Chains A and B, each alone.
Chain A
Amino acid sequence: MAGHSHHDEHHFAHPAPIKLLLAVFFALIFLTILTVATSGKMGPFGTIVAMAIATAKAALVCLFFMHMFWDKSFNVLVFFSSFLFVSLFIGFTMLDTDHYQNTIDAFPRAPEQTTVAPTEMK
């Protein structure tokens, strides 16, 4: 058994309360049921609703299971910086993506090599 430190260093652990973890779990299950139940029924908003619910679930997992609620702000900053870069990645790509489809379609090749869906079903 290793020796005890002279300073009381046991205070930096922060065990999350069990009730909180269970509450978060049941909230996640509820949101899962909600997202399955609303899939296909939200018309044009289906994707937005699904992504919003997914983000709510992600927030719960991040804040409480991943302990971010009590974590150092710098760690939070580091993690969210990844989403900043992902948004740059998606953002610039999406800005660009409409500009070249005509060029792609104009490229001469056999019809069966096209990737644009035919307008009528075969």
Chain B
Amino acid sequence: MAVADTAHHHDHHHDHGEFIAHHFDNAEQQFDSGKLGIWIFLVTEVLFFSGLFVAYTLWRYHHPEIFQQAHVFLDKVLGGINTVVLLFSSLTMALAVRCSQMSNNRGTAFYTLITMVCAAIFLGVKAIEYSHKWDQGILVRSLWAYTTDHQEAQWTLSKQLGISDWLVALSIIPAILLVAFIALSIIARLVANPILSKFFAGLAITVGGYFLGAVGGHIYMLNYEAQSAANSGHAQVAPLVLHADDKVATDHPTAAAHGVDHHHAGEHHDSHHPDPKSLDRDVGIFFSIYYCMTGLHAVHILGGIGFLSWIFYRSLKGHWRSDYFGPVEYVGLYWHLVDLIWIYLFPMLYLID
């Protein structure tokens, strides 16, 4: 915290707040300086993403057919849910900033926490999208291995839960963090540190948001797969069926049936599982771009959760006043930029005609 000056003990005739640094004339100048700084940082972020946007523009200009073929793999509903979640998180972030400007630390903590949960929900839905794709071999161009057979779950836990190995792999760290944060919250409560206890509880709730997003996304995928199987009159893909004896049964159509089925399946333009033979070899390039753009964006979401947790902690400590709320506003600006980028990514990747 460059502008904080917490080491000093101010006596009562020191005429500025604890976090107003000496090298500024007053609180407002400190705020304005920081604001300019964060806007300049946002400029660097825009330029950072612009490289990928230019790559997208070039590729779409030169090979529109790749984009036409590839976009069927992306689910508009999941993308739309993520968009709504991020827009809502922007609202709660703006409300958190508003609270901090009115010295309302509890309100700031509350809205910051909701923003963090929304961010985690976004990542949970992303985990579902990514693991589903990886199951089907939908990877970057150099690793492209698309097949309509869903990769069968190999791990015991995956089989028991009826989910993909990739999803389990992605969820290991959140699961560990969830347990750790709950434990730390309880320990902090026991050593009579209510602020740390609330802090870790908030982090635990945030990780809970990831599982909420993942579970919701998973339920949607199950419904969608069942729906599209019903619509086309035959099992295009293997829905994972959980049997009473905890074994996962997958219907694997024979190779011959596959060929026949997917010839028809290719005509269903709402199908997410076109026949691999009908695709350009270079469809994977779309996904190189997709994974880079959404992956970089997801890394920014993750970093944003980190910054937000810092704001959350400081809100619990009661740091914000109407003349010192800069950090909340700055993190807010960063968060809105992350939302802005998704506002463009969503139509560019998910809503191609």
Asked if residues B87 and A7 are in contact (CB atoms below 8 Å), the reply is no
State whether the Cβ of B336 lies closer than 8 Å to any Cβ in chain A. Answer: yes
A18 to B332, CA, bound (A): 16
In-complex Cβ contact of A2 among B10, B54, B76, B97 (8 A): B10
Asked if residues A122 and B277 are in contact (CB atoms below 8 Å), the reply is yes
A43-55 to B contact mask, C-beta < 8 Å, 1/0? 0001100110110
A49 to B43, CA, bound (A): 26
A55 to B17, CA, bound (A): 40
Asked if residues B46 and A50 are in contact (CB atoms below 8 Å), the reply is no
Give the chain B neighbours of A116 by CB distance below 8 A: 63
Among B34-42, B120-128, B202-210, B224-232, which stretch is in contact with chain A?
A: B34-42
Which of the listed residues A12, A25, A65, A101 has the most CB atoms from chain B within 10 Å of its own CB? A65
B158-172 to A contact mask, C-beta < 8 Å, 1/0? 000000000000000
Asked if residues B63 and A86 are in contact (CB atoms below 8 Å), the reply is no
Contact of A28 with B87 at beta-carbon distance under 8 Å, contacts A78-B36, A94-B58, A97-B62 already known: yes
In-complex Cβ contact of A16 among B32, B90, B98, B343 (8 A): B98
Which of the listed residues B58, B282, B343 has the most CB atoms from chain A within 10 Å of its own CB? B343
Give the chain A neighbours of B193 by CB distance below 8 A: none
Give the chain B neighbours of A81 by CB distance below 8 A: 43
A54 to B40, CA, bound (A): 23
Q: How large is the interface on B (under 10, 10 to 19, 20 to 34, 35 or more residues)?
A: 35 or more
State whether the Cβ of A110 lies closer than 8 Å to any Cβ in chain B. Answer: no
The number of chain A residues with a CB under 8 A from chain B is: 64
In-complex Cβ contact of B53 among A7, A28, A90 (8 A): A90
State whether the Cβ of B149 lies closer than 8 Å to any Cβ in chain A. Answer: no
Asked if residues A2 and B16 are in contact (CB atoms below 8 Å), the reply is yes
Give the chain A neighbours of B54 by CB distance below 8 A: 89-90, 93
Asked if residues A79 and B84 are in contact (CB atoms below 8 Å), the reply is no
B15-30 to A contact mask, C-beta < 8 Å, 1/0? 1111000000011100
Asked if residues B18 and A16 are in contact (CB atoms below 8 Å), the reply is no
State whether the Cβ of A99 lies closer than 8 Å to any Cβ in chain B. Answer: no
Asked if residues B14 and A3 are in contact (CB atoms below 8 Å), the reply is yes
Residue in chain A with minimal CB distance to B14: A3
State whether the Cβ of B145 lies closer than 8 Å to any Cβ in chain A. Answer: no
Contact of A54 with B344 at beta-carbon distance under 8 Å, contacts A46-B353, A94-B61 already known: yes
Asked if residues B47 and A85 are in contact (CB atoms below 8 Å), the reply is yes
A83 to B46, CA, bound (A): 8
State whether the Cβ of B65 lies closer than 8 Å to any Cβ in chain A. Answer: yes
Contact of A2 with B43 at beta-carbon distance under 8 Å, contacts A15-B101, A21-B91, A61-B343 already known: no
A86 to B353, CA, bound (A): 25
Asked if residues B65 and A58 are in contact (CB atoms below 8 Å), the reply is no
Residue in chain A with minimal CB distance to B278: A121
Residue in chain A with minimal CB distance to B57: A90
B231-273: which have CB < 8 Å to A? none
In-complex Cβ contact of A9 among B28, B61, B332, B347 (8 A): B28
State whether the Cβ of A109 lies closer than 8 Å to any Cβ in chain B. Answer: no
In-complex Cβ contact of B26 among A9, A46, A61 (8 A): A9
Asked if residues A86 and B340 are in contact (CB atoms below 8 Å), the reply is no
Give the chain A neighbours of B333 by CB distance below 8 A: 66
In-complex Cβ contact of B340 among A2, A14, A58 (8 A): A58
Asked if residues A9 and B323 are in contact (CB atoms below 8 Å), the reply is yes
10 examples of A-B residue contacts, CB within 8 angstroms: A3-B17, A5-B16, A5-B17, A12-B27, A12-B31, A29-B84, A32-B80, A61-B340, A65-B91, A86-B47
* Residues of B that sit less than 8 Å from A by CB: 10, 12-18, 26-28, 31-32, 35-36, 39-40, 42-43, 46-47, 50-51, 53-54, 57-58, 61-63, 65-66, 76, 80, 83-84, 87-88, 90-91, 93-95, 97-98, 101-102, 277-278, 280-282, 285, 322-323, 325, 329, 332-333, 336-337, 339-340, 343-344, 346-348, 351-353
